[in-house]
Chains A and B, each alone.
Chain A
Amino acid sequence: IQLTQSPSSLSASVGDRVTITCRASQDINSYLAWYQQTPGKAPKLLIYPASTSLSGVPSRFSGSGSGTDFTLTISSLQPEDFATYYCQQLSSYPRTFGQGTKVEIK
């Protein structure tokens, strides 16, 4: 299953609302996870399934979608949110990731 994220990168300011999309090549129900990766660190699980944030994840992060189209939204971008975000499908093996979306400071 191929996952296509858009955009590949974006520039935003602190306080901005940011939306990242992930499109699956076939129906994956709600079996989608979102990860955040900061430079030099391992990815961190933010959301799974598609709209459920993990305990301890700030409420400004939210996910939505099902089937083939998914969205990660950061409601008010904070300095620590500048990172690369990946989606991952857990519908079938092999597990696959999107190519990533890099969120940079404007």
Chain B
Amino acid sequence: QVQLQESGPGVVKPSETLSLTCSVSGASISSYFWSWVRQPPGKGLEWIGYIYHTGITDSNPSLNSRVTVLVDTSKNQFSLRLNSVTAADTAIYYCARHRAEGRGAFDIWGRGTMVAVSS
């Protein structure tokens, strides 16, 4: 059974860097693409960025180049860094697996972790 678990600080100060890790169990991180998605309280879903084990990565231009997505194959984990955060970055952050078939819909999700940007 494939499981994803997000971890990281629940509070980040404005202008600092948000750092989260997604630990993958039940599947090899080298076999799939992986994404981060966020959801501000009471609002909709926003795709943040993806990574492949080779290091291929892309992120949402709406985040103005503040995003870095990294992979650690030795730990079967991938991570998110979002710098220069503001209150607008307060959200539940999810990690998700891209389905192997087709264009990679997100078939497995973590439970999500709430991150608040606050001084």
Contacts and interface: CB of A to CB of B under 8 A. Distances in A.
A90 to B, nearest CB: 4
Interface of A is mostly: loop
Interface string A8-40: 000000000000000000000001010100000
Interface string B100-115: 0011111101111000
Contacts of A54: 107
Interface of A: 31, 33, 35, 41-45, 48-49, 54, 86, 88, 90-91, 93-100
Contacts of A90: 102-105
Contacts of B34: none
Given A42-B94, A48-B102, A49-B102, A94 B47 contact: yes
30 contacts: A31-B102, A31-B103, A35-B45, A35-B106, A41-B111, A42-B94, A42-B109, A42-B110, A42-B111, A42-B112, A43-B45, A43-B94, A43-B106, A44-B109, A48-B99, A49-B103, A54-B107, A88-B45, A88-B106, A90-B102, A93-B58, A94-B47, A94-B60, A94-B61, A95-B47, A96-B47, A97-B46, A97-B47, A98-B44, A100-B44
Given A42-B110, A97-B45, A88 B105 contact: yes
A90 B104 CA distance: 7
Nearest to A95: B47
Interface in B67-116: 94, 96, 99, 102-107, 109-112
B65 interface: no
Interface in B5-36: 35
Contacts of B61: 94
Nearest to A46: B105
A48 B60 contact: no
B119 interface: no
